[in-house]
Structure 1
Amino acid sequence: MMSFGLLFKSVTRDVARVAVCQHVRSVHTGLQLLAAEKALLMKLRKSTGYTFTNCKKALEKFDNDLSQAETWLHKQAQKEGWTKANKLEGRKAKEGLIGVFKKDKEAVMVEVNCETDFVARNEKFQQLVKDVALATLAHHQKKGHSTVGYVKSVLAGEELHKLSVAEGTSLADQVALAIGRLGENMSVKRAITVGVPAEWQIGSYIHGAVSGQTEVAMGRYAALVVFQGGKEGEQELVGRKLGQHVVGEAPLSLGNMDDLPCGESETRLLAQTFLVDPSRTVAQFLRGQQARVLDFVRFQCGETVSEEEK
């Protein structure tokens, strides 16, 4: 028979072995839990863009429920954004971007301002410009504007802030959220939408375009040009050249095809020397293309806008 001393040592070893196994399992489970929580944290951070600290706080608050955590984060950010927006109101915002979006026979051009060029290059600010452009076009379409004829609508300030984005929130909320995230005063200054009939064309040009932007083109200067005609296959190029001229020469009125140039101070589009080909006027270029310009709009970021131009 086994002595009491040997029996005691055997039992002690078995107990120790069980304890070690339980500890290993506990550590393993803990590591799994940590890995799962880290994965949730990374997912929430990626989907919302908020800081790791705030994401961790949200997950802890809602026992790792990703959906509730994300909803709470958005609400908190919105509150903080409005608070910061109110504090920064009144600070000059002259930088920013012009956004242009064209779809079929409609186009929209918007101006969104911030305080510095540094923020204008931020992707969150550029997302705001895109939101404004798409919301403005959606508003234009919702009002039932028909492209049987030429339609041009202008929105500014408070009218724009009331527009809704895809999730149903207002543009004012989106602006406040961007202010909260980027820490600068911002404003949605103005927007213009044009719609043309099937046989008309809309040309556009962006100067100083932001790289990487495709759906909504963005830059510091932009123009829309409404025209008829143009040689088959060359209409897009004609529209781009006309837009480039409008951006570069800043005409103030359209003028007539028979107008004679009055020198370097000429402000009528058709009588101006054509920027792309200085050997002729814009009117002469159009005759060669069998086209005619019906209207144009030019935006320069940060420029002073009179009440008549809004």
Structure 2
Amino acid sequence: MSITAAMVKELRELTGAGMMDCKAALTETNGNMEEAVDWLRKKGISKADKKAGRTAAEGLIGVDSGLREAVVVEVNSETDFVARNDQFQDLVRNIAKVALAFGGDQAKVEHEKYPGNEKTVAEVVKDAVGTIGENISFRRAAKLSVSQGAVATYVHNAVADGLGKLGVLVAVETSGNAEAANAIARQVAMHVAATNPMSLDVDALDPAAVEREKAIFSDQARQSGKPENIIEKMVEGRLRKFYEEVVLLKQAFVLNPDITVEKALKDAEKEIGAPAKLTGFVRFALGEGIEKEVSDFAAEVAATVKK
């Protein structure tokens, strides 16, 4: 059977695969479009498996929000170049949509249907590896919601609407004006982006982290040779300073360093028209915790030439 340019074009539009791959698929399957799609998918999965070992520490953070709820997701690629690709950006947006509908559990989201597709999110991500040509991974997701009030989103270093290198969610619970609640929540989200607090309040701090700081402060204070009761007060003072540095509500508000975040929220209650409580925050920075490979560019070029 003769393979026409129109057939190749149709298969490209269906799969996003390259022209030569599409022509080969149609030739192998004697022009059967459905079989050609499967042939390419198998080839794409083969490519995906080969690339899965490569470090994906670039990519995008994506956010999406609805009525009193919002999500943030991280989808990684190998290069920043791919993060500027429209196909990759659409992938991140759609994963965020699924996460908004089904919650912030990454494993659960992976097994939900991808928008406008019979495949799951995990399957579409794997297919994208074959069409985009890099290792791509849906790394994590988180969701915040309130029964009343607002959940604001903030994206830093945005490359497109709702997509960037750092994403923050902040939830404010209140029976008052939701628009005013969203305004202060967004300001706090910008603050979180800048300061990266360890916890919302003192009680939420990791006890091990507190004990570690206490031990350091105690050792430092004992070197002064002062009595134990004085040392105890010195440690308490240094712990207070530690809380002011790492606890969100205790931090000096970036937009007005003369007051704390807690005070800024209290002041905002005048506009909100009711008591307001900051109930949670999430901060995703792209690639945090991923050990990036240090590549030898000359060796990479040499390896490419040998292939």
Q: Same fold (TM over 0.5)?
A: yes
CA distance in 2, matches of 1:176, 1:99: 19
* Structure 1 residue 273 displacement after superposition: 1.1
Q: List alignment gaps of at least 5 residues for structure 1.
A: 1-36, 141-153, 306-310
Shift of 1:42: 5.1
**Corresponding letter in the other structure for 1:174:** V
1:254 aligns with 2:200: yes
User: Contact 1:78–1:173 (CA<8 Å) still a contact in 2?
Assistant: no
Name the residue aligned to 1:179. Answer: 129
What's 1:293 paired with?
Answer: 278
2:256 counterpart letter in structure 1: D
Tell whether the 8 Å contact from 2:244 to 2:252 is kept in structure 1 after alignment.
no
- 2:169 is the alignment partner of 1:224: yes
Whether 2:197 is the aligned partner of 1:244: answer no
* Structure number, greater radius of gyration: 1
Task: Name 1:304's counterpart in structure 2.
Answer: 289
SS in 2 for 1:262: helix
Alpha-carbon distance, 1:136 to partner: 2.1
1:117 to 71, 76, 80: 80
Aligned pairs for 1:12-31 (under 5 A) are none
Distance 2:85 2:8 in 1: 24
On the 8 A contact 2:149/2:182 being kept in 1, the answer is no
Matched, 1:209 2:158: yes
Alignment-derived partner of residue 278 in structure 1: 257
3-state secondary structure, aligned to 1:84:
helix
Which of 9, 12, 17 is the matching residue for 1:50? 17
Change (3 A) 1:84 1:49: closer
CA distance in 2, matches of 1:80, 1:62: 13
Q: Which residue matches 2:120? A: 170
Closer, same or farther in 2 for the Cα pair 1:93/1:265, shift >3 Å? farther
Q: Distance in 2 between matches of 1:132 and 1:99?
A: 8
* Length-normalised TM-score, structure 2: 0.69
Q: Is the 8 A contact 2:21 2:40 kept in 1?
A: no
Deviations 1:266-307 (A, max 9, x none): 1000111111222221112111101331111111111128xx
1:134 partnered with 2:97: yes
The number of residues matched between the two structures is 244
Q: In 1, Cα distance between the equivalents of 2:197 and 2:245?
A: 8
Percent sequence identity over aligned pairs: 36
Deviation at residue 61 of structure 1 after TM alignment = 8.1
Farther off after superposition, 51-60 or 167-176: 51-60
Distance between the aligned counterparts of 1:174 and 1:103, measured in 2?
24
1:78–1:176 CA contact under 8 A, matched in 2: no
Q: Matches of 1:195 and 1:233 in 2, distance apart? A: 15
Q: The residue matched to 1:278 in structure 2 has which SS?
A: strand
Alignment correspondent of 1:269:
248
Give the whole-Å Cα distance in 1 for the aligned partners of 2:75 and 2:26. 34
Residues of 1 paired with 2:99 and 2:36: CA distance? 27
Amino acid aligned to 2:199? S
Residue 119 of structure 1 aligns to a residue whose secondary structure is helix
3-state SS of 1:202 partner: strand
Does residue 161 (structure 1) correspond to residue 110 (structure 2)? The answer is yes
Which residue does the alignment assign to 1:6?
A: none
Q: Is the 8 A contact 1:54 1:73 kept in 2?
A: no
Given that residues 146 and 173 in structure 2 are in contact (C-alpha distance below 8 angstroms), is that contact kept between their aligned partners in structure 1? no
Q: Any gaps of 5 or more consecutive residues in structure 2? A: 203-238, 270-275, 291-307
Query: Are the aligned partners of 1:77 and 1:177 in contact in 2 as well (CA < 8 Å)?
Result: no
CA contact (8 A) 2:60 2:83 kept: yes
